[in-house]
Amino acid sequence: METRKLGKGGLEVSALGLGCMRLSPGHGAVSGTKQEMIALIRAAVERGITFFDTAEVYGPFVNEELVGEALAPVRDRVVIATKFGFQIDSDRVPHPVGLNSRPEYIRASVEGSLRRLNIGTIDLLYQHRVDPNVPIEDVAGAAKDLIQEGKVRYFGLSEAGVQTIRRAHAIHPVAALQSEYSLWWKRLEEEIVPTLEELGIGLVPFSPLGKGFLTGTINENTQFDPEDNRGSFPRFAPEALKANRVLVDLIASFAAQRKVTPAQIALAWLLAQKPWIVPIPGTTKLVRLEENIGAVYVELTPDDLKALDDATSKIPVQGDRYPPALEKMTNR
Catalytic residues: 58
What does the CA dihedral 207, 209, 213, 218 come to, rounded to 10 degrees? -100
Q: Please list, residue by residue across 135-155, b when 16 or more beta carbons sit within 10 angstroms of its beta carbon and e when fewer do.
A: ebeebbbbbeebbeeebbbbb
d(CA 186, CA 316): 12
Question: Is residue 113 within 8 Å of 60, Cβ to Cβ?
Answer: no
DSSP three-state, residue 264 = helix
Scanning the chain, the segments in alpha helix (DSSP H) are 34-46, 62-71, 103-117, 136-148, 162-171, 192-199, 238-257, 262-273, 286-294, 302-313, 324-327
Query: Position 127: which residue type?
Result: Q
Question: Is residue 48 within 8 Å of 293, Cβ to Cβ?
Answer: yes
DSSP three-state, residue 51 = strand
